[in-house]
Structure 1
Amino acid sequence: MSYKIITNLIDKNKVPNFVLLYGTEEYYIDMAVKKAKDNYVDEDYESMNYMETEKIENSFDDFYGFTSTFPFMADKKVCIVKEAAFLTSTGSLGKKEEEKLLDMIDHNDSCIVFFLIKGGKPDMRKKAVKRMKETGGLFEINKLTEGELSKYIVNGFKKHNIDVNLKDADYLANNCGYLEYESVVSLYHVNNEIEKISSYNEGKRSLTQEDLELLMIKSVESNIFKLVDYICEGNKKKAYEILEEMLLNNTPEQFIIHMIARQYRLLYQYVVLSKKGYSLNDIMTKMKIKNFIATKLSKQSRALSKEKIEVYMREILDIDKKIKTGEIDNRIGLELITNGIIK
């Protein structure tokens, strides 16, 4: 993992002078930067040896002036550029500024510069990106996998002297929203959940799934899965409880309808592929979904045929059209969808 590599280089004082950190896990990107600052910058001389700037496109002279001068009572200065959009396909520096930057990458060894691109990727065709790649300065730091996240949660609770087994950690991992497609939930959110649950259960040596469920904030997708579970079971009471919970959390009715429709589209795809003889792993690859989603779809599909899902999808589409044309409002439409599907 790139995070471990960059932090190891920082510990050994072998980090390249120009570093580009990019990827989807902002928490680890921030932690790598913090580690570099703690390692290289003495608090007594921070004002002279440390600089943070949002962008350099409109303040290149300030950036150049700081990074080109020698550190004071230290081996290195540290400079953080929080939004290095000029290194992506949508941004750029002026020609003179780019030439200066390339020269700095080649010759400046008095300052360590961190360029950050959170949630995106650099343009690998750009000269500065190529130059940093040649010097070993590119580090892609992405979100954790399902297994990595579960272990992270177990270790997070251990720091509070609380034991959580891997199965229960899996439950939290799969319901907090972190693993969802295009999710903006980061480890900052996961850490907050661990902190909140640990504080509430202070003094306990271990926690169960029930303890976690009592306090954790479930993602919309997690609630949608549960809602569809109850719909598949024909459990009206539980389905309405989930709906009420989502509405109390200010989840827009139209968004809930959109997510229900999306869930049935996923179920339809799963059933079609399953009927064609595809294995679970093949279906995951073809649908580009994670294991826990595929497993839930497998469970839900047992109570549904392809034809029944088609009927439900037509009903949802019809109600959605009536909402958009003003025939009915969102709340009534949502209730009609639930009533129409649960017989």
Structure 2
Amino acid sequence: MMFDLWKQIKAGKFQSLYLLYGPESFLINETKQMLIHHVLNEEEIDFNLSSYDLEETPIDVALEDAETLPFMGERRLIILQNPVFLTAAKTKEKVEHNVAKLEAYIKEPSPYATLVFTAPYEKLDERKKITKELKRNAAVLEAKKLNEAELKGWIKERAAYNKVEITESAIDLLLTLAGTNLFTLTSELDKLALYVGQGERLDEKTVDMLVARSLEQNIFSLIDKIVQRQIEEALRIYYDLLKQNEEPIKILSIITGQFRLIYQVKELARRGYGQQQIAGHLKVHPFRIKLAAGQARQFSDEELANIMKQLANADYQMKTGGMNKVLLVELFLFRLSDHTYKK
């Protein structure tokens, strides 16, 4: 649905009403920018683009704007932010909205205006008449967190937007290194495309060479080395992090978070949950669940329980000054490598 909507916009097939809602702000903003640059020519933007915050401005004002003839162009584009009246939120609104007038407009929208509602809310109130009418008559984008397949499709689309191709193995490595945040992925993809040039292909080697490792990814790699019993590689990553002025207490905190995730994934999988269900239950991206599930297979329940105890003890000693902070993380890594976490 997302890609179909984008293709229609790029092809110049515009609707009178758009409803962009959901928690993934990047997708809402990207769709909004796409509409701005395709509905209006550059010289029309100053005259025919309006934006209203509906927490500050009554809907009547925006509707009057929509019914005004465009100046030096064929259409007006009106962005309507924060339509809280579409939700069940019990907030005291600063302004009064004439919802009945909006309902009438939705049934018969202006032929020379495009209204775009941007609603950064997890859910809309489907019981409300105005919500039903808008969803029935508007082009709708639910900007939810993308699953793995959708995320990979989005990466291909973004690469194509930059006029480059990207291989499947390069996509997998990019997700592993950069994570699933769309703002970060966009930055990395734009950088990679600039490096290889238009018409070229992004491969795994280029991604490995150019994509910056986040602290979380370095910790994930560190844990992966531990899983593979490669203690020297794990320590090298740890010492590199220290050279980058990362604090041992922060490193330990992220290690703890990853092992907690591994423990939770293993437990929920044992209870029969699928990876998508686990992702929803833990509110973690499915791709991270997939990676954690692979690591979870390397540990028994008892091993993971003991690792969590050791991490809790190390955290306590760090915060109470019981031992040198750098040494505490080193000792934890050594214990993992020689299987003393089993005891």
TM-score range, shorter chain: 0.7 to 0.9
Percent identity at matched positions? 23
CA RMSD of aligned residues (A): 3.7
Q: Residues 159 and 128 from structure 1, CA distance in 2 versus in 1: closer, same or farther, beyond 3 angstroms? A: closer
Q: Residues 231 and 191 from structure 1, CA distance in 2 versus in 1: closer, same or farther, beyond 3 angstroms? A: same
Q: Residues 202 and 285 from structure 1, CA distance in 2 versus in 1: closer, same or farther, beyond 3 angstroms? A: closer
Partner of 2:76: 77
Compute the TM-score of the two structures, normalised by the length of structure 1. 0.77
Partner Cα separation in structure 2 for residue 47 and residue 20 of structure 1: 23
Partner of 2:341: none
Partner Cα separation in structure 1 for residue 6 and residue 157 of structure 2: 21
3-state SS, counterpart of residue 312 of structure 2: helix
Partner Cα separation in structure 1 for residue 323 and residue 170 of structure 2: 42
Contact 1:7–1:32 (CA under 8 A) maintained in structure 2: no
Partner of 1:181: none
Q: Residues 137 and 232 from structure 1, CA distance in 2 versus in 1: closer, same or farther, beyond 3 angstroms? A: closer
Aligned partner of 1:177 among 176, 179, 189? 179
Are 1:22 and 2:13 counterparts?
A: no
Partner of 2:54: 56
Q: CA deviation at 1:167?
A: 2.0
Q: CA deviation at 1:216?
A: 0.6
Partner of 1:182: none
Q: Deviations over 1:37-75 (max 9, x none)?
A: 34443544444322123x132233653542342333544
Partner Cα separation in structure 2 for residue 82 and residue 203 of structure 1: 35
Q: CA deviation at 1:319?
A: 1.7
Structure 2 counterparts to residues 270-289 of structure 1, below 5 A: 270-272=265-267, 282-288=273-279
Q: Aligned AA for 1:114?
A: V
Contact 1:22–1:29 (CA under 8 A) maintained in structure 2: yes
Partner Cα separation in structure 2 for residue 245 and residue 85 of structure 1: 47
Q: CA deviation at 1:226?
A: 1.6
Segment of structure 1 superposing worse, 300-309 or 248-257: 248-257
Are 1:128 and 2:130 counterparts?
A: yes
Q: Residues 114 and 155 from structure 1, CA distance in 2 versus in 1: closer, same or farther, beyond 3 angstroms? A: closer
Q: Residues 44 and 285 from structure 1, CA distance in 2 versus in 1: closer, same or farther, beyond 3 angstroms? A: closer
Are 1:34 and 2:33 counterparts?
A: yes
Q: How many residues align?
A: 330
Partner of 1:67: 66
Q: Aligned AA for 2:254?
A: M
Contact 2:12–2:39 (CA under 8 A) maintained in structure 1: no
Structure 2 counterparts to residues 1-343 of structure 1, below 5 A: 1-5=1-5, 7-8=7-8, 11=11, 13=13, 15-16=15-16, 18-53=17-52, 55-60=53-58, 62-72=61-71, 74-90=73-89, 91=91, 92=93, 94-109=95-110, 110-118=112-120, 120-154=122-156, 156-157=158-159, 164-178=166-180, 185-186=181-182, 188-201=183-196, 206-247=201-242, 253-272=248-267, 282-288=273-279, 292-293=287-288, 296-297=291-292, 299-328=294-323, 331-343=326-338
In structure 1, the gaps of 5 or more residues are 179-184
Compute the TM-score of the two structures, normalised by the length of structure 2. 0.77
Partner Cα separation in structure 2 for residue 196 and residue 6 of structure 1: 23
Q: Deviations over 1:87-136 (max 9, x none)?
A: 33445464454344344334441532111124643333444322202323
Q: CA deviation at 1:230?
A: 1.7
Q: Residues 234 and 190 from structure 1, CA distance in 2 versus in 1: closer, same or farther, beyond 3 angstroms? A: same
3-state SS, counterpart of residue 217 of structure 1: coil
Q: Residues 251 and 7 from structure 1, CA distance in 2 versus in 1: closer, same or farther, beyond 3 angstroms? A: farther
Q: Aligned AA for 2:228?
A: E
Contact 1:7–1:35 (CA under 8 A) maintained in structure 2: no
Q: Residues 225 and 177 from structure 1, CA distance in 2 versus in 1: closer, same or farther, beyond 3 angstroms? A: same
3-state SS, counterpart of residue 15 of structure 1: coil
Contact 1:163–1:205 (CA under 8 A) maintained in structure 2: yes
3-state SS, counterpart of residue 218 of structure 1: coil
